[in-house]
Amino acid sequence: MERMMGLINLEHEHHVFNELTYFRNNASLPFAGRYRLIDFALSNMTNSGIEEVAVFVRNKYRSLLDHLGTGDSWDLDRRHGGLFILPPDWNDPTDRSLGDLSFFHNNRDYFYRGKANHVLVSGSQFIANTDYKDAFKRHLIHDADVTVIYTDVDTIGPEHQAYYRVETDQDGWVTQMTNDHRNPNVFTGVYIIKKELLLDIVDYCIAYNYDNLFMNGIKERLQELKVYSYRFEGYHAFINTTESYYRENMKLLQEQNFLRLFQKPFIRTKVSSNPPVKYQAQAVVNNSIIANGCIINGDVENSILFRGVEVSEHSQIRNSIIMQRCKIEEDVYLENVILDKDVHVKSGQRIIGTKEKPYIVAKRQVV
Amino acid sequence: MERMMGLINLEHEHHVFNELTYFRNNASLPFAGRYRLIDFALSNMTNSGIEEVAVFVRNKYRSLLDHLGTGDSWDLDRRHGGLFILPPDWNDPTDRSLGDLSFFHNNRDYFYRGKANHVLVSGSQFIANTDYKDAFKRHLIHDADVTVIYTDVDTIGPEHQAYYRVETDQDGWVTQMTNDHRNPNVFTGVYIIKKELLLDIVDYCIAYNYDNLFMNGIKERLQELKVYSYRFEGYHAFINTTESYYRENMKLLQEQNFLRLFQKPFIRTKVSSNPPVKYQAQAVVNNSIIANGCIINGDVENSILFRGVEVSEHSQIRNSIIMQRCKIEEDVYLENVILDKDVHVKSGQRIIGTKEKPYIVAKRQVV
Amino acid sequence: MKECLGMLLAGGEGKRLGPLTSENAKPAVPFGGKYRIIDFTLSNCANSSIPTLGVLTQYSPIMLNRHIGTGKPWDMDRRDGGVTTLSPAIGKHGGDWYSGTADAIYQNIHFIDQYNPKYVLVISGDHIYQMNYQSILRQHKETAADATISVIEVPWDEASRFGILNTEDGLRIYEFDEKPAEPKNNLASMGIYMFTWSTLRKYLIEDAENKNSSHDFGKDIIPAMLEDNKPLFGYQFDGYWKDVGTIRSYWEATMDLLDENSGSPISVAREDMSKQIYTNEANLPPHFIGTSGTVINSLINSGCFIYGHILNSVIFQKVLVKKNAYINESILHPGVCVGEDVHLERVIVMENTEIADGVRIHALEEEEPIVINQENLSEYVAVREEIV
Amino acid sequence: MKECLGMLLAGGEGKRLGPLTSENAKPAVPFGGKYRIIDFTLSNCANSSIPTLGVLTQYSPIMLNRHIGTGKPWDMDRRDGGVTTLSPAIGKHGGDWYSGTADAIYQNIHFIDQYNPKYVLVISGDHIYQMNYQSILRQHKETAADATISVIEVPWDEASRFGILNTEDGLRIYEFDEKPAEPKNNLASMGIYMFTWSTLRKYLIEDAENKNSSHDFGKDIIPAMLEDNKPLFGYQFDGYWKDVGTIRSYWEATMDLLDENSGSPISVAREDMSKQIYTNEANLPPHFIGTSGTVINSLINSGCFIYGHILNSVIFQKVLVKKNAYINESILHPGVCVGEDVHLERVIVMENTEIADGVRIHALEEEEPIVINQENLSEYVAVREEIV
């Protein structure tokens, strides 16, 4: 039986999140009221029938370990397969591998162990709710070495700059991957590759001292490999800057976007035991996304509240992202603000950022 | 309710295992046919009713992660509590902590999160099969700040040198911890401490730039703290050199030792799906410990065979430790040998080490 | 050996809950915006470190079994112990359905014996309350009782509706009065029993052999123990406790959740980590309040889309409330879809019911709240049209 | 939606296994030094990626329920699906015990429907074999069959002991012959059925309404489908397959494990990672062979202490064999203790039996192997002493 295994490769992900990633990896950035960025890549994999997923991560992975736990929220707490978080821990003095090749080289066991003969590779910054079953079917039908998933974006923004553009012939075979700013066919960072080939490419890259498996081993060798393309259609976001992070959160406040991202199959995240949201007598909530555990007695508009946020009476929140367990006292006014986890805003405070550059308050601050 | 949480602290463990620990942490050293050293500390904790255990580990922790998995073999795959492996991953530029204090300082969350108000701290090198319920009861009755567990050794060997000796008054309160070679009351590295006090000591040690929580924060402050002693009686081993490793394995071939170590409660380890041992027509096995999955058609005496070892006809194995999945072809003679995992010994080979310095073959060699 | 094993009676049919239990066991009825009734008892066990639990089912257990699953939400997916659902089985002597609460335990003596417990906690899965069972165990051990029964003070004028425990000083029980016409006391049994297993085991076997027995704890086992002058004690509980055995009490207990001063479990769980309520949670997105939505004094769970007006109501997951709908003092179970311009007042809407645009259903203040499902919806709609 | 759901019939009493099933369901009988009979079928499901499985129990299910637990050893402790044990339950129309194999599935139609599967695999938990059910599913889809029945060639002279499938070219079944006096074919049904659920569902409902039916797949459902000329096919299996329904066949299947050329599951599992056998394993230390022990052509599990002589035998976990004991062609179940100077030949010793020093028990070559437990041991010992 043809099967895929999963790999979420966080090496080489470009991101500019400043305060938001001082203490966490970009993959564990909170998103859309109760998720972390990595939930999308991970859920898309399990929704594709994948039963073993590895995560290559170099640093600040503590919150990631905490979030993923035993993998049970994704049904990946398995005796065979399951979830493997693979931080660097290499002790072979003869090892000469560089960049993400170090991860591939030092984790060969993971690839050999599984029954799968294809690998679905993904980053954490392409956000969508999908499965790759159809892409896999076409990958098999065309007997492709690699199938790259791309999407057609309406407006090219700075967050797309870091991704290659895909050019194909009329049959869908990839002819070039470029940085052409006018090409709207943006590679999503997601691709399917034959397992044996992947391991060959690892050897090749190490032999030639390369440090980026996709760039050096696939993109630069398109002529030698059979690389097919698969076009993803559907709601998506690329998130790799504070600006795109804020904008993509806010976009979800348009109902049709929220629906398109969260229709079935559901994205899974770590479960918690928060009770339903309590709206109190003075609550006025409008066009907002509210996660369980919140208690609201104030005025919330165009905002996203993560789990366990408290908003007291006579406070107003506008166009803001309020992360887990923040406490907003009375008579507070917040507009275009991002509060990281556990922020406590004292009574009477007034904070206003801009739409282009929201005001960010780091974790656990009292303001 | 008074409860303990567990901490296995691998920092500051002294060991000289050479080849055996090139690719693994000392805590994951295989022992007694199917265990790893850490199984004893971990099982003793769960057998004491502990439901959350953290492991402080600095490097070569990949085989440990693999061995411990989701913690399910120890019933630690929990939504609340469970098993936390905490390698270093710190990103606070203001952090000045040293030695194991870095682990304590950067993992305060772990201690605050749990319901327990006492911490059972252990290393991985004291091997015993026990629970600490009685020690905990006495710790509570005496309202001790710290209760150190010691044992009375018959013969002092080099493996005991690294451990303090415990001196007490007649009521059992610890008066001194020394390096006195004539004192047979050897500290096991296991102690129970009030959680709040532990966190205070962390602050104290960091304030004074100390780098060893037990030595600087407890041993040097015996006068200020109420440190009680608890004497462990029962079969045990200290394993921190190749010599003690080999000797303590061989000691288990005396039936009464094996029985004393493995009577109830059972030590738990990672389960596998190996079938029962198959003894073939020419098997001659004598005074040996044989783990599941082995197929034996040769002559095995005074030896320990780990899971999945194959011994072909006309081969002889004497006083040896053969780790997982080794394959011994025909007409081989091995005496005083340690084969690490996946070693393949070709037909006709003859290897003889000494009792004091067994011949060690590293992982995956073909000899 | 386990010190204390729990046995949770979840076999009740709950007939007085009407349509709510027509296809579903009472303990599996949704409650509190996110939970099922049994979650409160299961969470009590989890929070009380009672890690080994038998759940006795017999009536329509599929939903219940699926809800409990491996027991993971309550950390009861243990290798040794954990949660086990126990349905009646054929043994050497042929099969029997459970014929009473005591019989249900009797038929599972083998199950209990394999853990060799010293104490057995017998509870039922159809009350809303938060209790740490370690407290009743502690008192049970201190008084060296054979049985300890949790009791709660009820108003004197309601006492005749309950099983009343008549006690001496120190809460020692000398009489059990089932629904007394003239109560001597106002301490009502909560149906929570801590037994010393060796004693209970003996009485269960004797009771099973007694052909005249109804095999009930309250009617047979406790009186038999009292007759033999065994030490039985009351354990006084003074927290929130609510039976949800009728549609009215189910609705009232739900409304209690909206009153932060009622002491009802959800408010307590927010404040106290040791009193969390766990459930087998769907992994749903947060809810979405549209520009036309308003919500006041209500609980809303994840996965909902709210474009209408919600007042004094409890809304479960995956509910859609369209524009200009007006929901007051009502309970919407998971997956309900409420059309535009719908008015509901004092209505309980069962799972996945779709209510078409413009429908209006009201139960009057003095009436029992109306329970709606897809099947009976047309009756109420017809009534409305006639009135019009 | 699940493409294919498994239903495992584990309700059999296994009367012909004598004392082995007096307190234990047949699927829970120990087999192969480490396993229980049902492990082979459960492992087949795990290895075939059939992650959703209903296990139908009714006879003495406690041991079976505890063995299956959350399903973790087979990776079936899943959030959605996984393994569910199904005992008979009281529904709206009162309760019924399962009265036949088809009735057992019929009573669980609601369980199956909730997963909305396209295909349902019906298997039983009392045979020893290794099969990837994906192969039978693949053939079932290719032939667009309504039912595909796994068959195995049996010797012609034994064919009349089996349910024989008479087939046309391409293995299309035109007749099912239950234990034919004069078999037309030697393809025996293995009791493994792949059904298209929509078709099976219809036949189950019809069959349930038929008062004259015995509600059995082989006797009622398959013949009814054949009568309607539905496309039914045989799926030919040619691996190792053994019924362990009698003491003699149980013993023979065990002896097969010692013969590396028999193709029996344990040898296969050693070579082929995709055919592993999983069980709910106790976490025991390796076994210990003392200086006075010898072991030849035998299987020994962990937790044993061997000081005697073991030949052509299978020894389960936690067995102690003392000095000068001599065990030949025997099976020692978990926890057995064999005294000094004991001789056993062709004996099956049940769990936790203690055999005193000097006892000798032999079954002759032509006799059925003797099954010993603590209760009947004295009879055999007495016999021995009389002979002496």
Q: For residue C171, what are its two tokens?
A: 């809460």
List the subunits that have 3+ CB pairs under 8 angstroms with B.
A, C, D
Q: Measured between CB atoms, which of D75, D134, D274 is closest to A78? A: D75
- What is d(CA A327, CA A350) in angstroms, rounded to the nearest whole number? 14
Among the candidates B262, B286, B303, a domain finishes at B262
What's the pLDDT at A214?
97
Task: Say yes or no: A32 contacts chain C, CB-CB below 8 A.
Answer: yes
What's the pLDDT at C15?
81
Same domain, residue pair B242 and B291: no
Same domain, residue pair A284 and A257: no
What's the pLDDT at D32?
96
Which residue has 């099982």 as its token pair?
Answer: B43
Residue C1: pLDDT band (50, 70, 90) is low
Mean pLDDT of chain A: 94
Mean pLDDT of chain D: 91
Residue D365: pLDDT band (50, 70, 90) is confident
Distance, CA of D121 to chain centre: 16
Mean pLDDT of chain B: 94
What's the pLDDT at D31?
97
Same domain, residue pair A225 and A346: no
Please say if the pLDDT value at position D376 is more than 60.
yes
Is residue B343 within 8 Å of B367, Cβ to Cβ?
yes
Q: Measured between CB atoms, which of B1, B77, B80 is closest to C134? A: B1
CA nearest to C215, candidates C99, C72, C360: C99
Task: Say yes or no: C99 contacts chain A, CB-CB below 8 A.
Answer: no
Strands A146-152 and A227-232, bridge-based pairing: parallel
Please say if the pLDDT value at position C383 is more than 70.
no
Task: Say yes or no: C314 contacts chain A, CB-CB below 8 A.
Answer: yes
- What is d(CA D103, CA D216) in angstroms, rounded to the nearest whole number? 7
Residue D388: pLDDT band (50, 70, 90) is very low
Smallest CA–CA distance from B64 into chain A, residue: A89
CA–CA min distance D323, chain A (Å)? 39
CB-CB under 8 Å, B79 with C73? yes
Smallest CA–CA distance from A93 into chain B, residue: B22
Please list, residue by residue across C40-49, b when 16 or more beta carbons sit within 10 angstroms of its beta carbon and e when fewer do: bbbbbbbbbb
CB-CB under 8 Å, A91 with B23? yes
- Determine the average pLDDT of the residues in C4-15: 87
Task: Say yes or no: D273 contacts chain B, CB-CB below 8 A.
Answer: no
Q: For residue C376, what are its two tokens?
A: 């009976």
- Determine the average pLDDT of the residues in D257-281: 90
Rg (CA), chain D: 22
Domain tally, chain B? 2
Residue B55 included in any domain? yes
Interface with chain D: mutation pick from B272, B279, B284, highest number of D CBs within 10 Å:
B279
Whole-angstrom CA distances from A191 to A43, A229, B80, C193, C202 are 16, 9, 36, 59, 67
Smallest CA–CA distance from C2 into chain B, residue: B49
Distance, CA of D310 to chain centre: 26
Judging contacts by C-beta atoms under 8 Å, the chain D residues touching residue B288 are 288-289
Specify the DSSP class assigned to residue D162. Answer: S
Is residue A54 within 8 Å of A142, Cβ to Cβ?
no
In terms of phi and psi (left: phi > 0; alpha: psi -120 to 50; beta: otherwise), the region of D108 is alpha
Distance, CA of A335 to chain centre: 26
CB-CB under 8 Å, C88 with D87? yes
Interface with chain A: mutation pick from D43, D77, D137, highest number of A CBs within 10 Å:
D77
Q: For residue C285, what are its two tokens?
A: 């997105």
Same domain, residue pair A247 and A296: no
Using alpha carbons only, give the angle C290, C354, C383 rounded to the nearest 5 degrees: 115
Residue A140 included in any domain? yes
Alpha helices, DSSP H only, in B152-228?
195-207
Q: What is the dihedral of CA A331, A333, A337, A343, to 10 degrees?
A: -10
Angle between helices A195-207 and A99-106 (to 10 degrees): 130
Q: Measured between CB atoms, which of C61, C85, C110 is closest to D62? A: C110
Is residue A352 within 8 Å of A333, Cβ to Cβ?
yes
Render pLDDT for C31-59 as a digit per residue (tens, 0 to 9): 999 999 999 999 999 999 898 999 998 77
CB-CB under 8 Å, B267 with D285? yes
Kindly give the parts of chain A with pLDDT less than 50.
none
Is residue C330 within 8 Å of C348, Cβ to Cβ?
yes
3 state DSSP class of A284: strand
3 state DSSP class of A363: coil
Judging contacts by C-beta atoms under 8 Å, the chain B residues touching residue C274 are 115
Residue A191 included in any domain? yes
Q: What is the dihedral of CA B326, B328, B332, B336, to 10 degrees?
A: 20
- Domain limits at B197? 4-262
Same domain, residue pair B9 and B53: yes
Q: Measured between CB atoms, which of A23, A65, A91 is closest to B22? A: A91
- What is d(CA D56, CA D67) in angstroms, rounded to the nearest whole number? 14
Please say if the pLDDT value at position B323 is more than 50.
yes
Amino acid type, A135: A
CA–CA min distance B61, chain A (Å)? 7
Residue D379: pLDDT band (50, 70, 90) is confident
Render pLDDT for B75-102 as a digit per residue (tens, 0 to 9): 999 888 899 998 888 878 788 899 999 9
Same domain, residue pair A258 and A293: no
- What is d(CA A327, CA A339) in angstroms, rounded to the nearest whole number? 10
What's the pLDDT at A367?
93
Render pLDDT for D75-104 as a digit per residue (tens, 0 to 9): 998 877 899 888 776 554 555 667 889 999
Render pLDDT for D277-301 as a digit per residue (tens, 0 to 9): 999 988 999 999 999 999 999 999 9
CB-CB under 8 Å, C297 with A279? yes
CATH number of domain containing B12: 3.90.550.10
What's the pLDDT at D387?
53
Is residue D32 within 8 Å of D314, Cβ to Cβ?
yes
Same domain, residue pair A198 and A328: no
CA nearest to D35, candidates D265, D262, D251, D258: D265
Alpha helices, DSSP H only, in chain A?
37-47, 62-68, 99-106, 108-113, 133-141, 195-207, 242-251, 255-262
Q: Is C178 annotated as a binding residue?
A: yes
Backbone dihedral angles phi then psi of residue D133, each to the nearest 5 degrees:
-65, -15
Judging contacts by C-beta atoms under 8 Å, the chain A residues touching residue C301 are 276-277, 292
Interface with chain A: mutation pick from D3, D42, D49, highest number of A CBs within 10 Å:
D49
Residue B29 included in any domain? yes
DSSP string for A239-264: --BHHHHHHHHHHTTSHHHHHHHHSS
Residues, chain C, total? 388
Same domain, residue pair B219 and B351: no
- What is d(CA C53, CA C42) in angstroms, rounded to the nearest whole number? 9
Residue B90 included in any domain? yes
Render pLDDT for A165-193 as a digit per residue (tens, 0 to 9): 999 999 999 999 999 989 999 999 999 99
Render pLDDT for D340-353 as a digit per residue (tens, 0 to 9): 999 999 999 999 99
Q: Is D163 annotated as a binding residue?
A: yes
Judging contacts by C-beta atoms under 8 Å, the chain B residues touching residue C134 are 1
CB-based contacts of B146, cutoff 8 Å, min separation 6: B191, B192, B193, B194, B197, B218, B225, B226, B227, B228
What's the pLDDT at C388?
47
Angle between helices B99-106 and B195-207 (to 10 degrees): 130
CB-based contacts of B104, cutoff 8 Å, min separation 6: B97, B198, B199, B202, B213
What's the pLDDT at D93?
52
Task: Say yes or no: A89 contacts chain B, CB-CB below 8 A.
Answer: yes
Among the candidates B262, B289, B317, a domain finishes at B262
CATH number of domain containing B338: 2.160.10.10
Same domain, residue pair B70 and B208: yes
Same domain, residue pair A217 and A317: no
Task: Say yes or no: C302 contacts chain A, CB-CB below 8 A.
Answer: yes
Please say if the pLDDT value at position C386 is more than 80.
no
Please say if the pLDDT value at position C78 is more than 90.
no
Same domain, residue pair B91 and B189: yes
Render pLDDT for B205-253 as a digit per residue (tens, 0 to 9): 999 999 999 999 999 999 999 999 999 999 999 999 999 999 999 999 9
Q: For residue B211, what are its two tokens?
A: 């780098």
DSSP string for C59-93: BS-HHHHHHHTTSGGGT---SSSEEEEE---EETT
- What is d(CA D17, CA D242) in angstroms, rounded to the nearest whole number? 15
How deeply is D223 buried, as exposed, middle or buried, from its count of CB atoms within 10 A (0-12, 13-18, 19+)? middle
CB-CB under 8 Å, A115 with D134? no
Interface with chain D: mutation pick from C15, C75, C90, C352, highest number of D CBs within 10 Å:
C90
Render pLDDT for D107-161 as a digit per residue (tens, 0 to 9): 899 899 989 999 999 999 889 999 999 999 999 999 999 999 999 999 999 899 8
Is residue D66 within 8 Å of C78, Cβ to Cβ?
no
Q: Measured between CB atoms, which of A271, A278, A279 is closest to C281? A: A271
Please say if the pLDDT value at position C387 is more than 80.
no
Render pLDDT for C342-369 as a digit per residue (tens, 0 to 9): 999 999 999 999 999 999 999 988 899 9
Judging contacts by C-beta atoms under 8 Å, the chain D residues touching residue A77 are 77
Judging contacts by C-beta atoms under 8 Å, the chain B residues touching residue D323 are none
Smallest CA–CA distance from C273 into chain B, residue: B115
Smallest CA–CA distance from D71 into chain C, residue: C70
Residue A44 included in any domain? yes
Render pLDDT for B154-200 as a digit per residue (tens, 0 to 9): 888 889 988 999 999 999 999 999 999 899 999 999 999 999 999 99
CB-CB under 8 Å, A75 with D79? yes
List the subunits that have 3+ CB pairs under 8 angstroms with C.
A, B, D
- What is d(CA A343, CA D360) in angstroms, rounded to the nearest whole number? 78
CB-based contacts of A310, cutoff 8 Å, min separation 6: A294, A295, A296, A326, A327, A328
Instruction: Please indicate whether residue B5 or residue D51 has the higher confidence score (pLDDT).
Output: B5
Residue A45 included in any domain? yes
What's the pLDDT at A38?
97
Instruction: Say how many CB pairs under 8 Å bridge B and C.
Output: 14
Q: For residue B241, what are its two tokens?
A: 């050199």
Residue B268 included in any domain? no
Interface with chain A: mutation pick from C300, C320, C332, highest number of A CBs within 10 Å:
C300
Instruction: Please indicate whether residue B94 or residue C187 has the higher confidence score (pLDDT).
Output: C187
Among the candidates A210, A233, A262, a domain finishes at A262
Q: Is D179 annotated as a binding residue?
A: yes
Task: Say yes or no: B133 contacts chain C, CB-CB below 8 A.
Answer: no
Same domain, residue pair B25 and B60: yes
